Amino acid sequence: MSELVKLGLKEAAEKVKAREVSSVELTQACLDRVQARNGDINAFVTVCSDKALEMAEASDQRVKEGKSRLIEGVPLGIKDLFCTEGVLTTASSHILDGFVPAYESTVTANLWKAGGVLLGKLNHDQFGMGTANENTHYGPVRNPWAMDYTPGGSSGGSVAAVADYQCMATTSTDTGGSSRQPAFMTGTVGIKPTYGRCSRWGVISYASSLDSPSVNARTVEDAALMLRAMAGFDPKDSTSADIEMDAFDEDLADLDVKGLKIGLPTEYIEVEGLDPRIKQTVLSTAKRFEEAGAEIIDVKFPLIEYAVPCYYIIAPAEAASNLARYDGMRYGLRVEGENLVDTYKKTRSAGFKLETKRRIMIGNYVLSSGYYDAYYLKAQKVRALIARDFQNALDKVDVILAPTAPTPPFKVGALTDPVQLYLQDIFTIPNSLAGLPAVAVPSGTVEEGGTTLPVGIQFIGKLFKEKDLLKVAYAHEQMTQFKPLELKG
């Protein structure tokens, strides 16, 4: 196996620009790796060999002409919720069978403009709904750390592909934790930027008010560079923010930990069901920062127990409506029935998996006349209160340190109760409800029955202050010297 696949995004781009390696060589190395591993890991739904090499050749041509761009020539994996022009886009669902968009999502278009190469489309929990990557039409994704373990969800393919050295960075989406919980499960980095930082245009919607196009990579610096290439204001998305962008990947080491104020929410680490090893991970992170001169400040989140219920009202409500367009009339799967209503029923029954159907039903229920005020409206009020708590906390501190997930990685099929799965997101949902950015970073490993598994923490930052947040994550990365999974296979 070519050692080229071990290059990080920044390193690889620099080598391509310096003509130390060609984009074609790099891309071919990744394609070979995917070819060798996808049967086991199942990270890719679609591998775009021809298109990838074509884009790589064009990239090499640009380098020759001295027209190199930010992430020139680096092969990237794209979560299959991002529409890619002329390339099958499935949302990991049966209902989008054969759907080939005539348009390119803004985020992926930005990546190609920055010189990126489309390696393929990544598996995930369909429409972004799930925490174990089992809610997919294309079969579960496996955790490269241990094949009988899940890489988490919904962005299981996004993290598995980078953890397993199949590509240098990937896009993901994060609605209630879908880029961070999988990062935690695979010892990789996941950035959920501020809501509105990356355009949702051309990204298949799950819950519009929460969906945040996100990033997965093996290091903070690579993730930051990837975010820089993806983000930006987009007039085609009415919820996109017209706020100046930082060069997220530059000057990451430029942080004086001395005097840094880190919020540690008691309610988070006292949550029932939090594995003591995870709690310990958070506390030792706090300790390391404290020893380096940071100030650890207790912050209050009295409403944390309401975050998951609140999310599981708002997200399904929006999803039920967002997924109504998949009716078999214009594209994707169609199962003919006796009449119109029968065709709708048969198509949607066959096209969605159980968890997706469950959320559609919950969503329609909470929006129904007579229940709207009790559920949807109340959830919106709770959401506003949670956002207020964050604002109060972030007035006092620079970042908040929190667990990412409540337990170490678990096995495929281990969690069958939906509520148990929903509680996986207990630490990632609250700041998503507030639109705040967060970054999940690995901090060590634990042993489970002889298997070494990664664990990590997350930092939550201020609105549109991703750069400050990433500096803290970078400092953490330097302190822990976490050893990523070794290249195997």
Partner 1 sequence: MHPDYEMVIGLEVHAQVNTKSKLFSGSSTEFGAEPNTQANCIDLGMPGMLPVLNQAAVSAGIKLGLAIGATVSPVSVFARKNYYYPDLPKGYQISQYEKPIVENGMVSIDLDDGTTKEIRVERMHLEEDAGKSVHDIGLESHSHVDLNRAGIPLMEIVSRPDLRTPEEAGAYMKKLRAILRFIDVCDGNMEQGSLRCDANVSVRKKGVETLGTRCEIKNLNSIRNVMRAIQYEADRQIDVLEDGGKIQQQTRLWDNDKAETRAMRSKEDAHDYRYFPDPDLLPLRVSGARITEIRETMPELPDQMKERFIEAYGLSVYDASVLTISRQNAEYFEAALSLKNGKPERDPKLLTNWMTVELFAALNKAGKDIMDSPVSPEQLSELVSLIEEGEISGKIAKQVFAEMLETSKDPSNIVEEKGLKQISDTGALEEIIQKVMDDNEDSVEKYRNGNERIFGFFVGQVMKATQGQANPGVVNELLKKALAG
Residues of this chain that interact with partner 1 (CB under 8 A) are 81-83, 89, 91, 96, 99, 101-103, 105, 200-205, 207-209, 235-239, 317-318, 320-321, 323-325, 327, 329-331, 340, 344, 364, 367-369, 372, 376
Smallest gap from Cβ 279 to partner 1, in A, equals 35
| DSSP category for residue 375 | I
Measured from the CB atom, the residue of 114 and 314 that comes closer to partner 1 is 314
Q: Decide if 166 contacts 42 (C-beta within 8 A).
A: no
Smallest gap from Cβ 489 to partner 1, in A, equals 34
Measured from the CB atom, the residue of 31 and 207 that comes closer to partner 1 is 207
Measured from the CB atom, the residue of 102 and 419 that comes closer to partner 1 is 102
> How many CB atoms within 10 Å of residue 396?
11
Cα gap 274→266, rounded to integer Å: 12
For residue 123, give the nearest of 114, 132, 115 by alpha carbon: 132
Measured from the CB atom, the residue of 310 and 469 that comes closer to partner 1 is 310
Per this entry, what is the length of the chain? 489
Smallest gap from Cβ 125 to partner 1, in A, equals 16
* Angle at 215 (CA atoms; ends 213, 217), nearest 5 degrees: 165
Measured from the CB atom, the residue of 80 and 466 that comes closer to partner 1 is 80
State whether residue 170 is helix, strand or coil. Answer: strand
Measured from the CB atom, the residue of 318 and 389 that comes closer to partner 1 is 318
For 177, 185, 274, 290, 379, the CA distances from 283, given in Å and listed in that order, are 21, 19, 13, 10, 31
Smallest gap from Cβ 209 to partner 1, in A, equals 4
Q: Decide if 19 contacts 105 (C-beta within 8 A).
A: no
Smallest gap from Cβ 327 to partner 1, in A, equals 6
Cα gap 267→305, rounded to integer Å: 9
Cα gap 232→83, rounded to integer Å: 17
Quick one: tokens of 144?
């490269």
State whether residue 407 is helix, strand or coil. Answer: coil
Measured from the CB atom, the residue of 149 and 311 that comes closer to partner 1 is 311
Active-site positions read 79, 154, 178
Smallest gap from Cβ 458 to partner 1, in A, equals 25
Rounded (10°) angle between helices 23-41 and 156-163: 120
According to DSSP, the β-strands at 261-265 and 399-403 are parallel
Cα gap 128→173, rounded to integer Å: 7
Does the bond joining 23 to the residue before it have cis omega, within 30 degrees of 0?
A: no
For residue 49, give the nearest of 34, 73, 31 by alpha carbon: 31
Smallest gap from Cβ 165 to partner 1, in A, equals 29
